[in-house]
Structure 1
């Protein structure tokens, strides 16, 4: 078996450690671990000898996508992220593969097999569809029955009178949940933030921010739709959407 030499780039120490361990267990050598896109750019100025870079997308400073867009000569890249919405853009930048967190052994094995066989080429739409998991969906009430909505369409969830509403901008849809904690438990990997006791926000849906009262901000999630972030959660919310403190 061809032993691959890999570089792991991720700002989350636990994710870095887990992926490195899985790669070692799969017979790979870890050439190094980096914690952000700037460090990778510096590394690429005089790159070491590696067969593949496993690269997180959302990182402080430069994202993985921004790094790959800036360099013309780079070892094969496999993107690793918690968000499937980046897949098309990743493959447009000539990524070899695209792994969703948490990475599992069987999916990683398929990726490594492609690398070992040097099947480094853009994937067809059918191949890309086969690699990606189906959209995450959940039921919403429709008359006497239910229909299913994709989580990626939802901007936030609201709790009102012991009922949880899924919101897509100004539109609201009644779910079968009775508490926001149930939503958080249903989607532990989505990174939702409780910005008020009754509001659960998906940070990736934020389009803009502006100051509100002292120590608070408002976030825009759709035209004419703004949500007020509590004073206690404002620092975390700023960090999630990667803006500096005023």
Structure 2
């Protein structure tokens, strides 16, 4: 069997309003709660990521209390993810589980595979190409020597850096030189590309956006490895950035 849509039974109960009555209007009126939750997801999807709970509240005409409670539940169960620099929310990995499985992405062209091979030869860790131009992140070329580990932290890191890139890459040209940082995440924007770094537990992920001629992200180059295998993350990020620039004309 596949992974259940809800991580815990009580999560489904909370979302459907099956908890004991309380002061919050989200609890109770089950059909309305479900409708509002779906509207929140649609609103975030339409925004492309980076929308705040206050903006969702205004767009949908919901009270702030209702919106904040719905967003909290959706984040807890990975239907939404909170962007690290507090710019708002994006769709989470669980949304993909609600849709039919997408067809496997086309194999990258030979020139792109050669760029990937050179990059992988110079880094100690897995380097994965993730397509961002579909309904959600899809691994388009997994590192054959360092395949993705079946670990919750690894999947969360991959989804997280891809969400960061998808939300931030479109603003890169307007935010040249701007750097936003939190305790465990850094997003560096330059005129041509966007870089992201995250660490969760023993794992570190570095990523660079592959963008088309308009600056829209079409893919992500993600280096993912135990933190002690990336002793010089700045040098690794430079390699990723250079490879992402080379891949842009080949994949867009």
- Structure with higher helix content: 2
Q: Same fold (TM over 0.5)?
A: no
Q: Which TM class, normalised by the smaller chain length? A: under 0.3
Whichever of the two has the greater Rg, that structure is 1
- Structure with higher strand content: 1
- TM-score between both structures, scaled by the size of structure 2: 0.23
